[in-house]
Structure 1
Amino acid sequence: MNQAALAPAGPDFLAHVGQMGVLIKAQDWSAHPLGSPQGWPGGLKAVLATVLGSPKPMYVLWGPEFVFFFNDAYAPMLGQHGNGAMGRAFAQVWPELWADFAPLLRQALSGQGSSYDNMALTLARHGYPEPTWWTFSFLALRDEHGAVVGVHCICTETTELVRAQARQAFWFELAGALREAHTPKQLKALAAETLGRYLEVSCVGYGEVDAAGEWMQIHHDWTAEGSPSVAGTHRLDKFGPLMFAQLRAGRTVVVTDSATDPLTAGTAYASAYQAVGTRAFIDAPLIKDGRLAVIFFVIDSIARVWTQGEQALVEEVAERTWAALQRLQAELDLRLTHAVLDHRTTELLHTENALRQSQKLDALGQLTGGVAHDVNNLLAVIGASAELLRGPGLAEDQRGRYLDRIFDTVARAAKLTGQLLAFARQQPLHPEVFNVNEQVQGVLDLVRPLMGEQVAIELKACGVNCCHAQADISQFQTALVNLVVNARDAMDVKGRITVQVQPVDRLPAGPGRDMQPGDFVAISVRDTGCGIAANQFEAIFEPFYTTKEVGKGTGLGLSQVFGFARQSGGEIAVTSAPGQGAVFTLYLPRAQGAPTAPDAVPTLDAGVHDPAAQATVLVVEDNEILGEMACEILASLGYRAVWAASAAPALVLLARSEKHFDLVFSDVVMPGMNGIELGLEVRRCYPGLPVVLTSGYNAVMAREGPYGFELVLKPYTRDTLGRAVGQALAGKTGQW
């Protein structure tokens, strides 16, 4: 302390120095070793004048006995120690501190000051020991000669600050513990352990009260080392009716000593508390839905005075634990619901797959039966005609009739397979832009004579040049014929058929599909017939499904329309009701531009190009009979033909005699390298060498087209093959 602070006080150094100055003046000092204050050393008077007037907590310890003087700011910190403390020896005022403070004070008395932050001290200021924290600065007091005559202590109690920091850390730890819990049992255990370690008690637990409010079940509790557990089932009234009433009313019960507290005292209940090692406790009840639901308890095995902060802490932990349990249970219920839904969804998917498989098998059985029936009929006609052709003495007109019948049956068989491929969306298509109005008008002109005199047909065309579609024209014509014939049959050859063409900007929603925006042309065929029940809307597009009498329909017409629409990027929709007619609407992608004018078809002039004289065709076919037949047909047309059984020997022949071949005619579906791959290889290695492909079915061609190669569909005739080869040699490609 500087010299100014130690300067002598005025005539009365205790003037204007607060209540403690008044206390010093009023106190009898006659028997005290220091005597009357007027005779005290000047240094003591000077420092007291400063300390007693300070708003900060301070005290002075004078002489080797450490005589204790303190100011107003320090007085409340003494608690019960304040009575008669002024002027007594420090060791007598604070006996519980003397062992810790004696070395510090002697160090200061030797002239060496010191300071300490947040020093932990257990004090009995209010009749019971309590943990406290302090910040101290010890300064040596010197007289006018420089000799150390006492200690000046500046102190601040930091108990609340330390507790606040500890509470903050506790809440952070508790939140993490509750967040990490995966089961209710684990959550309650973590909450109890975290609070128990923080309060340094014997036992903490979460008791659940039954609906009747008579029993408490403690599934798990936390106990300090050496402390008994209270887990189990307890009857609440055995702990005393007064305490039980407080809990049922939702009031927290705080007991310092169960042996003396009016709520718990008495021989009738002492054994109950002794049995669970309880001397002091806090019971925080939770009233939920109008009843006592939970008792969150904290137990200490020794008597203990609980602070209001500790009570509030236990109450808050109880509420937070309850809330965390509710959230966790909701999460667990949600997870269980998700698991059940996932399991149910999996079961439904399995059921759906099984149903689909069953439906596929049913459809396959229906399809196989229909195909077998129609193919057997066709084979019967061909077989009978061929057998009759073998008969001796057959007249020429009969021979011609049988041959015509065979050709006609083969054509019907080709149509049957084409319709099946159309439904399966596996037929090769050649989309091109065309005027829908013109094509519809052409089809109606073709079928009008077939409708009968009592069927009226009306066309409602769209505006000029606003309805151009992009699709396979031939398949479109076939689909429209099927729709018109179907409408006629639905009316029993009497009524009105209205065909309307219009642009639309979306595909309608339907079974298994959502509404799809886009540019489309809608071709609607409306009839005034018997109508269709809603439960038949999907079945009518299945192959061989028909409601017509035997011999009046194959059940393949609408399936061809369905497959063509889907493969073309469009849709077929139906609206109908029994007795109100039906409307079938075919949707096709709308083209932005107008159709291009067709190229002039070059003609074969014997004077310009004589195939028999200079064209050699390499036939690639894995079926030996078909290969021989193709070579014979080409020979009959005047071409020279060489057969290869697969792509590999064909490439070898080309490599040996490239200039000897004018055209490659190859099947598509073959072992190893297929016809498309062969054609692309020929195009790469032998530019300019035309390739003609043939196939009855190929998924790649149905999906991606023939890659610009000439295509002949099986079964083909001599004329079809001849035109295709001739056009290819003349530089014209297409589909035959």
Structure 2
Amino acid sequence: MAELVRTKDWSDTPLGPIDQWPQSLRTTVSLCLASNFPINVIWGDDNIQIYNDGYRTVCGEAHPRALGEDYGVTWSSAWPAIGEPFRQAREGHTSFLENQRMFLTRNGYLEETFFTFSLSPIRDETGEIGGLFHPVTETTATMLSERRTRALRDLNASLASAVDMDDLSRRTVEVLSQFEFDLPLLLLYHLSPDGSTYGLAAHHGSPVRRLASIATIDAHSTTPWLMAKALTPDGPLGIIEFSDLFKGAGPYEEPPERALILPITVPGLELPTLLVVAGASPHLSTTAIWASTSCFRRRLLQPSPPCGPVPTSGGGPKRWRKSIAARPCSSRTSAMSSARR
């Protein structure tokens, strides 16, 4: 970044050529570029940005455009969260925000993120506020991991008292509906006693008027999803471009465009006894979505104590297998949750 800042034609910006910058700006920028910590220097009435390598990562696809751009333009989507602290800092009052939730357009979509940062006034040679010193650290991975952990903790506690499949589905939706920023849509289907269809047993997030067409699904159908792939025990099946079907679902104006189908299998049975359709937040990366649904699916595969009886596609009823304690999400998965799509 030091080389990019040095070679950029700053005469095209309100700051003018580097050799005309005030010493206060030069010194601050020098300190910024020498630091490994993400720092942005915001200078002048036009709030022009000069940042270092650490902050470049925060910018995502906004770099290199953001270098020399108005801070308010680059981060306009986050202004509801940072506008007031920015104004206060401009008036001479340092602002500090910890784990502030905000939405940034930096990787091709409006992303839910979390940051801890400060905005501190910088005095120029006249004693007036020439700009702002803006160190920042992203905490998105940590905050999303903590949110998943709370969801798993609550789900584990509730499912421990489940007495049958209907109760298990009701409890699952009751708990996970409190975490709709991760899973804005949930559809839980039970396998019919003859193994021919899946019937909607519990749901959250989708308008009732949109459920009629998907209340019952043929176990061997290709609509609305390719059931042959959805029912394999290999893992979640990702489906995309279902925004019309999920319109009005979830806490955001934008409906989920992607969903994961999670088959919950029981050893010895030909078909999964439970099928979960989990709508994905439109504001989380694919990696973060996969981390959330994988953890929830693992917990549903291990309910405790055993729930039964469950429907089967042949033979007598079987009881859900006993569980070992639900394992937390791995640190590897959590650390990837803020990765780009």
Q: TM-score, normalised by structure 1?
A: 0.37
Quick check: 1:282 aligned with 2:256?
no
Whichever residue aligns with residue 235 of structure 1, its letter is D
Deviations 1:283-305 (A, max 9, x none): 112454474413221136x8665
Structure with higher Rg: it is 1
Q: Which residue of 1 aligns with 2:135?
A: 154
Alpha-carbon distance in structure 2 between the residues aligned to 1:59 and 1:141 = 12
The CA deviation string for residues 175-212 of structure 1, in whole angstroms up to 9 with x for no partner, is: 11112333331121111232233134453133234698
Do 1:204 and 1:223's aligned partners in 2 also have CA atoms closer than 8 Å?
A: yes
Distance in 2 (alpha carbons) for counterparts of 1:119 and 1:241: 38
Residues in 2 aligned to 1:133 and 1:291: alpha-carbon distance in whole angstroms: 43
Q: CA offset at residue 233 of structure 1? A: 2.3
Cα pair 1:34 1:40 within 8 Å, conserved: yes
* Rounded Cα–Cα distance in structure 2 between residues aligned with 1:214 and 1:140: 67
Question: What is the identity, as a one-letter code, of the residue corresponding to 2:124?
Answer: D
Q: Kindly tell me: are residues 171 and 274 of structure 1, through their superposed partners in 2, closer, same or farther at Cα, counting changes over 3 Å?
A: closer
Structure 1 residue 42: deviation in Å? Answer: 0.8
Query: How far, CA to CA, are the matches of 1:42 and 1:34 in structure 2?
Result: 13
Please give the alpha-carbon distance, in whole angstroms, between the structure 1 residues aligned to 2:285 and 2:119. 32
Question: In structure 1, what residue type is equivalent to 2:229?
Answer: A
1:452-471 matches, cutoff 5 A: none
Letter in 2 for 1:157: E
Aligned length: 301
Q: 2:10 aligns with which of 16, 26, 29?
A: 29
User: Residue 205 in 1 paired to residue 183 in 2?
Assistant: no
1:356-375 correspondence runs (5 A): none
Structure 1's 157 and 140: CA in aligned 2 closer, same or farther, altered over 3 A? same
Q: Does 1:168 align with 2:149?
A: yes
Instruction: Tell whether the 8 Å contact from 1:139 to 1:152 is kept in structure 2 after alignment.
Output: yes
Structure 2 match to 1:317: 296
Indicate conservation of the 8 Å contact 1:223/1:229, yes or no. Answer: no
Aligned counterparts of 2:284 and 2:239: Cα–Cα separation in 1: 8
How big is the shift at 1:132?
1.2
After superposition, the C-alpha distances for 1:675-709 in whole angstroms (9 at most, x for unaligned) are xxxxxxxxxxxxxxxxxxxxxxxxxxxxxxxxxxx
Listed one character per residue, the Cα deviations across residues 271-292 of structure 1 (whole Å, up to 9, x for unaligned) are xx47997743111124544744
Cα deviation code 1:242-291 (max 9, x no counterpart): 564354363422234236xxxxxxxxxx8xx4799774311112454474
The question of whether the paired residues in 2 share the 8 Å contact of 1:203 and 1:221 is answered with no
Instruction: State the shift of 1:324 in Å.
Output: 1.4
Query: Does the aligned pair in 2 maintain the 1:222–1:229 contact within 8 Å?
Result: no
Match of 1:239 among 206, 213, 223: 223
Corresponding position: 1:64 with 2:45: yes
SS class of match (1:118): strand
What is the correspondence of 1:184-195 to structure 2 with a 5 Å cutoff?
184-195=165-176
Deviations 1:227-252 (A, max 9, x none): 54467421242326756435436342
Q: Specify the alignment match of 2:276 in structure 1.
A: 296
The Cα shift of 1:170 comes to: 1.4
Mark the CA change 1:295 to 1:276 in structure 2 (over 3 Å): closer, same or farther: farther
**Counterpart of 1:284 in 2: which secondary structure?**
strand
Contact kept? 1:139, 1:151, Cα under 8 Å: yes
Amino acid at match of 2:186: V
Once residues 304 and 96 of structure 1 are traced to their aligned partners in structure 2, the CA distance between those partners, rounded to angstroms, is 12
Aligned: 1:216 with 2:194: no
Q: Deviations for 1:76-98, whole angstroms, at most 9, x for unmatched residues?
A: 11112223111111122112123
- 2:239 corresponding residue in structure 1: 255
Distance in 1 separating the partners of 2:22 and 2:240:
48
Aligned partner of residue 93 in structure 2, secondary structure: coil
What is the alpha-carbon distance in structure 1 between the residues aligned to residue 203 and residue 159 of structure 2?
15
SS in 1 for 2:12: coil
SS for the counterpart of 1:195 is helix
Partner residue in 2 for 1:393: none
Q: Deviations over 1:647-666 (max 9, x none)?
A: xxxxxxxxxxxxxxxxxxxx
Amino acid in structure 2 at the alignment position of 1:47: T
Q: Structure 2: which 5+ residue stretches go unaligned?
A: 250-255, 310-316, 320-341
> What is the one-letter code of the residue matched to 1:217?
G
The residue correspondences of 1:528-607 to structure 2 (distance < 5 A) are: none
**184 and 274 in structure 1: CA distance in 2 versus 1, 3 angstrom threshold:** closer
In structure 1, how many angstroms separate the alpha carbons of the residues matched to 2:172 and 2:42? 47
Structure 1 unmatched runs, 5+: 1-19, 260-269, 335-736
| Aligned position for 1:196 | 177
Alpha-carbon spacing, 1:285–1:304, altered in 2? closer, same or farther (3 Å)? farther
Cα distance change on mapping 1:69 and 1:161 into 2, 3 Å? same
Cα 1:27–1:222 change in 2 (3 A) is same
What is the SS of the residue equivalent to 1:83?
coil
Q: Secondary structure at the match of 2:301?
A: helix
Describe the shift of the 1:275–1:21 C-alpha distance in structure 2 as closer, same or farther (beyond 3 A): closer
Secondary structure at the counterpart of residue 192 of structure 1: helix
Counterpart Cα distance in 2 of 1:275 and 1:67 = 40
SS, match of residue 296 in structure 2 = helix
> Contact 1:257/1:304 (CA < 8 Å) preserved in 2?
no
Larger relative helix fraction: 1
Aligned to 2:332: none
Q: CA RMSD of the aligned region, Å?
A: 3.3
SS in 2 for 1:250: coil
The two structures have a TM-score, normalised by structure 2, of: 0.76
Distance 1:307 1:137, change over 3 A: same
Residue matched to 1:686: none
Output the CA distance in 1 between the equivalents of 2:229 and 2:195. Answer: 11
Q: Give the direction of change, closer, same or farther, for the CA distance of 1:292–1:250 in structure 2 (3 Å limit).
A: farther
1:122·1:132 contact (CA, 8 Å) conserved in 2? yes
- Other structure's SS at 1:208 match: strand
The answer for the alignment partner of 1:114 in structure 2 is 95
Aligned identity (percent) is 22
Counterpart secondary structure, 1:30: helix
* Greater relative contact order (CA < 8 Å, ≥ 6 in sequence): 2
Aligned to 1:540: none
Mark the CA change 1:139 to 1:239 in structure 2 (over 3 Å): closer, same or farther: same
Aligned to 2:78, the other structure's residue is in SS state: helix
Amino acid at match of 1:307: T
Q: Deviations over 1:288-347 (max 9, x none)?
A: 4474413221136x86655323323323323322331771328x999xxxxxxxxxxxxx
Q: Provide closer, same or farther for how the CA distance between residues 243 and 59 of structure 1 changes in structure 2, counting only shifts above 3 A.
A: farther
8 Å Cα contact 1:256-1:306 kept in structure 2: no
Question: Is the partner of 1:285 in helix, strand or coil?
Answer: strand
Secondary structure of residue in 1 paired with 2:14:
coil
Contact 1:283 1:296 in 2 (8 A): yes
Q: Cα gap change, 1:304/1:238 in structure 2, threshold over 3 Å: closer, same or farther? A: farther
